Structure 1
Amino acid sequence: MTELAPRTQKGPIVPRSEPVAIAALVPADSPRSGEVDLAYARSLMEVRELPPILVCRRTMRVIDGMHRLTAATLAGRADIDVRYFDGDEKEAFVQAVQANLHRGRRLSQQERAAAARRIVAAYPQWSNRAIAQAAGLSTKTVAAIRRRSTGNEPQLNSRVGRDGRARPVDPSVGRERAAAHLREHPDASLRQIAEAAGISVGTARDVRARVERGEDPVGRRAAVRDDRVLLTAVERNNRLRVPDPRPAVAPVKDPLAVLTRDPSLRFSEAGRQLLRLLDNRALLDAGGDALSAAVPLHNRAALTAAVYQHIDTWLAFLSMLERAG
């Protein structure tokens, strides 16, 4: 049987039920953490017609209905009405989770999280959103579970969404493929670009518009801003380094120490603020590596831009000092 797609998580269930000997059934591989609640099962014994239980045809394992099965056993019955599920064990587990999300004794948050971990292991190609729908959790919770479950293991380049379509985990990959296809086939339709790159038609339209405007197809604005800020800082720094006709000032060995000892700075609010701004010894000492390592890779460009913004600010302040001097 083909692999269960996210958009058909309910699976192929035979609509008709039939009586099956209780002795032929295998207890459920349940997403529940505890044993069958006997008190709840006894309360079901009073129900005249219980709904059929769901059983995996391949293994005869109960998917949904262990409390009903226990009630029938306690009542001394030899058989029970069954509907069959035609799928493998992985599909059957997803179906068991789905069946216990909205009916009967619903799964707890901890049980749904444990079920999501099993689904991530069974279907790593599924998107976080598809697993969230299957396990009754938020997408953010599933993303955290996936990070803890897979650790440093290699990750798939694409995942299957709820609609059954595979999409790249990193959307920039598909955009770059679309731009490359567009350069080789400038007359290609949006649908042809989308199919070649594995992206949506809307994304293909956006890539084509960016390429026609001469922009980056991925839209890496942070990197462009990074270069612009760097250029601004370098240009301003070069302007400030024009030879000064005034007499040269003898260099100070430890200028921060000299300023720190100055009472006019130490005992005024503006002076103390200036000293705090000037004290960057954490960067000059061994702490610089730790500060750099604390920033995740996806924010390095933003950090670089922020540093250059501060450089621009200090260069402007230096220009004020030189004009005042």
Structure 2
Amino acid sequence: MQFAPDPDFYSVVEVEISSLSIGGSPRSSGESREHVELLAAATGPLPPIVVHRPTMRVIDGMHRLRAAQLCGRRTIPARFFDGPEDDAFVLSVRLNIAHGLPLSLPDRKSAAEKIIESHPDWSDRLIASTTGLSAKTISELRRRTAPESPCVARIGRDGRVRSINRVSGRTLAYDLMTKDPSLSFRHIARIAGISPETVRDVRKRMHRGESPVPAGRHKRAVPGELPPAGPVDRPAARRALEQPPAAIVDRLKADPALRLNENGRDLLRLLNIHTIPREDWVKIVDSIPPHCAEIIVQLARGCAQGWRECATRLERKISKT
């Protein structure tokens, strides 16, 4: 999956209406004529529609498109989304519950069933936040539509992967270590859907000749989002920072906890801007005219102070986990 907030997603361009395609909308009943006429009569500019660039299909804004057609316009302002079609549908659902004419309850449930199928590794709460339904409703839909899901772990709203069943995760980790003792903790954790610290505990228990599952947990096999099994892996974070900044930001762009909410997209956009190579910074500095230098110095220091405060707050937050 990819929902990268690249500059094109924030750029608004005029698009020929004749070049757009429709279909695949989560709205089963089509557009409301009354709402279209209301938008056509609006005196101010309407928000841009969102278009899936690979297919030129309208992701969000069919009522605005119909209103533009009703007014005889040939073009309409739009933003482009470049991700896969499955993610385009998710974005369509998310946008259509956030503004405009809300999706009906049956349409939300139908959309949830489709997302459960296309994103089986998403947790009930993550899908619930996307569709405007409760996690309990998503759980019921999942049991009815995908009772035999092969996933052993799911991605939560915070972007962290959690085991659906800690018992099965620990058991799978034990089997993997038995078959190949050379496997790293992180590799096993990724396959079993548990944390590296949990894998470490399984290894210790195995060396002591104990069961991989602590006493009292054998009966705990209820699917759902569980709290993280171990602390934040700070050495792993430091190793990740050995990569080029652009590569790190690309990895963050794949995190649904960031890319599927407005604040997260703003953060990714800022990080993307600040990952330009050092030589480009040199060129930028060399091109600044002398009469602008002093004020840019102050602005740059202010931005740097903002990032320092952000880092300090995050360090405090991490220390509490």
Q: TM-score, normalised by structure 1?
A: 0.56
Which residue identity is paired with 2:155? G
Identify if the C-alpha distance between structure 1 residues 205 and 142 changes in structure 2 by more than 3 Å, giving closer, same or farther: same
Which residue identity is paired with 2:34? A
Give the number of the structure whose alpha-carbon radius of gyration is greater: 1
- 1:82-136 deviation per Cα after TM superposition (whole angstroms, max 9, x unaligned): 1111123222111100111211122232221110011112222333333223222
Relative contact order higher in (CA < 8 Å, ≥ 6 apart): 2
Counterpart of 1:133 (choices 129, 132, 153) is 129
Quick check: 1:167–1:199 contact (8 Å CA) kept in 2? Answer: yes
Map 1:14-33 → 2, pairs under 5 A: 14-33=9-28
Identify if the C-alpha distance between structure 1 residues 194 and 12 changes in structure 2 by more than 3 Å, giving closer, same or farther: farther
Identify if the C-alpha distance between structure 1 residues 137 and 210 changes in structure 2 by more than 3 Å, giving closer, same or farther: farther
Look up the match of 1:275. none
Look up the match of 1:57. 53
Identify if the C-alpha distance between structure 1 residues 169 and 12 changes in structure 2 by more than 3 Å, giving closer, same or farther: farther
3-state SS of paired residue (2:36): helix
Whether 2:157 is the aligned partner of 1:158: answer: no
Quick check: 1:12–1:87 contact (8 Å CA) kept in 2? Answer: no
3-state SS of paired residue (1:172): helix
2:206, 2:7 → 1: CA distance? 45
How many percent of aligned residue pairs carry the same amino acid? 41
2:217, 2:187 → 1: CA distance? 30
Which residue identity is paired with 1:24? S
Q: CA deviation at 1:164?
A: 5.2
1:57, 1:176 → 2: CA distance? 44
Identify if the C-alpha distance between structure 1 residues 76 and 204 changes in structure 2 by more than 3 Å, giving closer, same or farther: same
Map 1:116-127 → 2, pairs under 5 A: 116-127=112-123
Q: CA deviation at 1:170?
A: 3.0
Look up the match of 1:176. 171
2:95, 2:154 → 1: CA distance? 22
3-state SS of paired residue (1:84): strand
Which residue identity is paired with 2:26? P
1:128, 1:10 → 2: CA distance? 24
1:9, 1:214 → 2: CA distance? 47
Q: CA deviation at 1:161?
A: 0.3
Quick check: 2:59–2:89 contact (8 Å CA) kept in 1? Answer: yes
* Aligned length in residues: 219
1:11, 1:118 → 2: CA distance? 26
Look up the match of 1:143. 139
Which residue identity is paired with 1:122? S
Identify if the C-alpha distance between structure 1 residues 75 and 181 changes in structure 2 by more than 3 Å, giving closer, same or farther: closer
Q: CA deviation at 1:196?
A: 7.4
1:26, 1:134 → 2: CA distance? 24
Identify if the C-alpha distance between structure 1 residues 9 and 36 changes in structure 2 by more than 3 Å, giving closer, same or farther: farther
Counterpart of 2:30 (choices 26, 35, 58) is 35
Which residue identity is paired with 2:12? S
Q: TM-score, normalised by structure 2?
A: 0.56
Q: Tell me, which stretches of 5 or more residues in structure 1 are unaligned?
A: 225-296, 299-325
2:211, 2:155 → 1: CA distance? 27
Quick check: 1:193–1:204 contact (8 Å CA) kept in 2? Answer: yes
Q: Tell me, which stretches of 5 or more residues in structure 2 are unaligned?
A: 223-321
Counterpart of 2:99 (choices 87, 98, 103) is 103
Look up the match of 2:72. 76
Quick check: 1:160–1:167 contact (8 Å CA) kept in 2? Answer: yes
